[in-house]
């Protein structure tokens, strides 16, 4: 290509646009390379995401189905209502011990009817969960007219039965297991054949309360769900208005001087403070000083609000700054006040960015565990919390506390709880996306 003529002047070479020259080819190659790096990066992250979801679902999805015993139970009036008056106050006095006996008798009768022989009746009755009498009691108290009749009930089976169905319990482990013997596993096989026990969808896992170490089959996420829902609600209600108001003031009204610079630096620093520090702060301020109730979702929400605020403020300021100054000029030019300019024109344009920041902050808050442990939200709570002042737990804390229990049945539930946590997150994101879309189309 370099045929420079003797006198030094480059001759006019007419190049064809149908042929790529060397430089163009090099530029195109660089572009192709860059595109493939991008594709590889996306493929890797998608693969990791898929792997993560796959393992979570593989290990956790089974917790939504639980081994349940189904058999007819004669609600003997002699035990459940000795007076025969069907008086709710009297009925409530009968303890779960009484219901346990009713269940034992009914199961043995069902086995006899199906022709399943037993060496020892204990072998069969031990397969009923310790949580089952309470279940039956709730059924009866909900409708006392059933007393005296025989009804078909579905109650929880012992956690080991569930484990046997899901492959956690085998004949080898049963040899060393104080809770179940290999001979009982044979019995379970026979009962399964007779339709007395099977895996069913387990609403109790999602909405029930937590249970003690001995009854993994009865443990549910209800209180953690309530706690997390209260906290997310309170965090949005507190941090969004405070954060947006603070950002609007700092961005649109505050003079730019050393003090506002200092505040800006401090807010950025706050966003980087480890979450456990916020937990210690919450313990000192909200519980020890302000005397708010320990373990309550209110305190959890306050701590998470402190954590979320910097994120929301930073995102809001960035999106306010991204609104073109010409829009502000236009509004001021027709005689709008600063406040009208901000609320009529700037804020609506910044809203999608603000929502994105908020959902990022909320997602972090939803998954936050450490500060909640410090303020006592890891406590064992068995009553549904009616208000944010009552003790509660949170989904990530429940994951943590189940994962640290000895019985492997809790590990499965811990994975199931992660699925619920992810579903919670997806719901929150969908709400945010819908809101954002509304603002975007309204311009």
Partner 1 sequence: MNDMRIVERTVDTHDVKIDAKDVNVHYGTSHALKGVSVAIPDKTVTAFIGPSGCGKSTFLRCLNRMNDTIASCRVDGLIALDGEDIYDRRVDPVQLRAKVGMVFQKPNPFPKSIYDNVSYGPKIHGLTRNKAELDEIVESCLKKAALWNEVKDRLHSPGTGLSGGQQQRLCIARAIATSPEVLLMDEPCSALDPIATAQVEELIDELRSSFSVVIVTHSMQQAARVSQRTAFFHLGNLVEYGETGQIFTSPQDPRTESYISGRIG
Nearer to partner 1, 130 or 436 (CB): 436
Q: How far is the CB of 432 from partner 1 (least distance, A)?
A: 21
Nearer to partner 1, 35 or 344 (CB): 344
Options 123, 345, 376, 435; binder of partner 1; rule CB under 8 A: 345
> Using CB under 8 A, which of the segments 90-98, 212-220, 344-352, 403-411 binds partner 1?
344-352
Options 195, 288, 329, 430; binder of partner 1; rule CB under 8 A: 329
Nearer to partner 1, 166 or 328 (CB): 328
Nearer to partner 1, 33 or 344 (CB): 344
Nearer to partner 1, 23 or 258 (CB): 258
Q: How far is the CB of 256 from partner 1 (least distance, A)?
A: 6
Nearer to partner 1, 293 or 348 (CB): 348
Q: How far is the CB of 319 from partner 1 (least distance, A)?
A: 14
Nearer to partner 1, 341 or 398 (CB): 341
Options 131, 197, 315, 331; binder of partner 1; rule CB under 8 A: 331
Options 122, 344, 437, 438; binder of partner 1; rule CB under 8 A: 344
Residue 273 main-chain phi, psi, to 5 deg: -70, 135
Nearer to partner 1, 107 or 354 (CB): 354
Residue 348: which of 309, 319, 312 has the closest Cα?
319
CA distances from 432 to 159, 256, 266, 376 (A): 39, 32, 28, 30
Q: How far is the CB of 267 from partner 1 (least distance, A)?
A: 21
> Using CB under 8 A, which of the segments 199-207, 277-285, 308-316, 340-348 binds partner 1?
340-348
Nearer to partner 1, 158 or 342 (CB): 342
Q: How many residues bind partner 1 (CB under 8 A)?
A: 21
> Using CB under 8 A, which of the segments 163-171, 269-277, 321-329, 399-407 binds partner 1?
321-329
Question: Over the Cα atoms of the chain, what is R_g?
Answer: 32
> Using CB under 8 A, which of the segments 27-35, 131-139, 218-226, 329-337 binds partner 1?
329-337
Q: How far is the CB of 252 from partner 1 (least distance, A)?
A: 11
Nearer to partner 1, 270 or 336 (CB): 336
Options 328, 376, 389, 403; binder of partner 1; rule CB under 8 A: 328
Q: How far is the CB of 314 from partner 1 (least distance, A)?
A: 22
Residue 154 main-chain phi, psi, to 5 deg: -125, 110
The reply to whether 322 sits near partner 1 by the rule CB under 8 A is no
Touching partner 1, residues 242-271 (CB under 8 A): 256
Options 83, 87, 95, 337; binder of partner 1; rule CB under 8 A: 337
Residue 294 main-chain phi, psi, to 5 deg: -60, 150
> Using CB under 8 A, which of the segments 77-85, 165-173, 331-339, 404-412 binds partner 1?
331-339
Nearer to partner 1, 46 or 327 (CB): 327
Residue 296 main-chain phi, psi, to 5 deg: -80, 155
SS3 letters across the chain: CCCCCCCCCCCCCCCCCCCCCHHHHHHHHHHHHHHHHHHHHHHHHHHHHHHHHHHHHHHHHHHHEEEEEEEEEECCHHHHCCCCCCCHHHHCCCCHHHHHHHHHHHHHHHHHHCCCCCCCHHHHHCCECCCHHHHHHHHHHHCHHHCCCEEEEEEEECHHHHHHHCCCCCHHHHHCCCCCCHHHHHHHHHHHHCCCEEEEECHHHHHCCCCCCCCHHHCCCHHHHHHHHHHHHHHHHHHHHHHHHHHHHHHHHCCCCHHHHHHHHHHHHHCCCCHHHHHHHHHHHHHHHCCCCCCEHHHHHHHHHHHHHHHHHHHHHHHHHCCCHHHHHHHHHCCCCHHHHHHHHHHHHHHHHHHHHHHHHHHHHHHCCHHHHHCCCCCCCCCCCCCCCCECCCHHHHHHHHHCCCCHHHHHHHHHHHHHHHHHHHHHHHHHHHHHHHHHHHC
The reply to whether 327 sits near partner 1 by the rule CB under 8 A is yes
Query: How far is Cα 229 from Cα 386, in angstroms, rounded to an integer?
Result: 12
Options 2, 5, 291, 326; binder of partner 1; rule CB under 8 A: 326
Query: Is there a contact between 104 and 125 (Cβ–Cβ < 8 Å)?
Result: yes
Touching partner 1, residues 349-408 (CB under 8 A): 349
Touching partner 1, residues 132-171 (CB under 8 A): none
Q: Which residues bind partner 1 (CB under 8 A)?
A: 256, 324-338, 340, 344-345, 349, 443
């Amino acid at each position: 290509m370099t045929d420079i003529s003797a006198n030094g002047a480059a001759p006019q070479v007419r190049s064809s646009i149908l042929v790529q020259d060397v430089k163009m080819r090099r530029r195109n190659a660089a572009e192709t390379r860059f595109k493939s790096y991008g594709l590889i990066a996306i493929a890797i992250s998608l693969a990791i995401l898929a792997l993560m979801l796959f393992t979570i679902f593989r290990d956790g999805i089974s917790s939504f189905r639980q081994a349940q015993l189904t058999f007819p139970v004669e609600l003997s009036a002699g035990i459940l209502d000795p007076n025969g008056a069907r008086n709710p106050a009297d009925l409530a006095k009968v303890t779960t011990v009484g219901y346990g006996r009713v269940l034992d008798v009914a199961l043995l009768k069902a086995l006899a009817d199906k022709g399943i022989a037993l060496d020892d009746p204990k072998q069969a009755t031990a397969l009923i969960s310790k949580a089952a009498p309470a279940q039956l009691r709730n059924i009866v108290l909900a409708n006392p007219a059933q007393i005296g009749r025989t009804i078909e009930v579905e109650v929880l089976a012992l956690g080991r039965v569930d484990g046997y169905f899901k492959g956690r319990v085998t004949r080898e482990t049963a040899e060393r297991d104080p809770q179940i013997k290999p001979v009982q596993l044979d019995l379970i096989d026979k009962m399964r054949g007779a339709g007395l026990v099977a895996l069913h969808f387990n609403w109790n896992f999602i909405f029930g309360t937590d249970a003690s170490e001995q009854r993994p089959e009865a443990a549910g996420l209800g209180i953690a769900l309530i706690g997390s829902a209260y906290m997310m609600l309170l965090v949005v209600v507190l941090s969004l208005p405070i954060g947006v108001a603070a950002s609007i003031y700092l961005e649109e009204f505050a003079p730019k001087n050393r003090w506002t610079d200092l505040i800006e630096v401090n807010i950025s620093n706050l966003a980087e403070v480890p979450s456990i520090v916020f937990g210690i702060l919450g313990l000192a301020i909200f519980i020890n000083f302000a005397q708010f109730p320990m373990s309550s979702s209110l305190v959890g929400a306050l701590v998470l609000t402190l954590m979320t605020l910097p994120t929301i403020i930073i995102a809001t300021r960035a999106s306010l700054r991204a609104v073109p100054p010409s829009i502000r000029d236009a509004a001021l030019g027709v005689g709008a006040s600063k406040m009208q300019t901000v609320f009529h024109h700037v804020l609506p344009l910044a809203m999608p960015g603000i929502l994105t920041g908020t959902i990022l902050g909320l997602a972090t808050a939803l998954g936050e565990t450490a500060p909640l442990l410090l303020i006592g939200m890891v406590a064992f709570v068995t009553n549904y919390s009616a208000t944010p002042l009552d003790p509660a737990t949170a989904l990530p804390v429940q994951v943590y506390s189940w994962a640290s229990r000895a019985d492997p049945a809790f590990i499965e539930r811990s994975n199931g709880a992660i699925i619920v946590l992810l579903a919670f997150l997806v719901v929150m994101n969908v709400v945010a996306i819908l809101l954002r879309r509304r603002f975007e189309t309204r311009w």
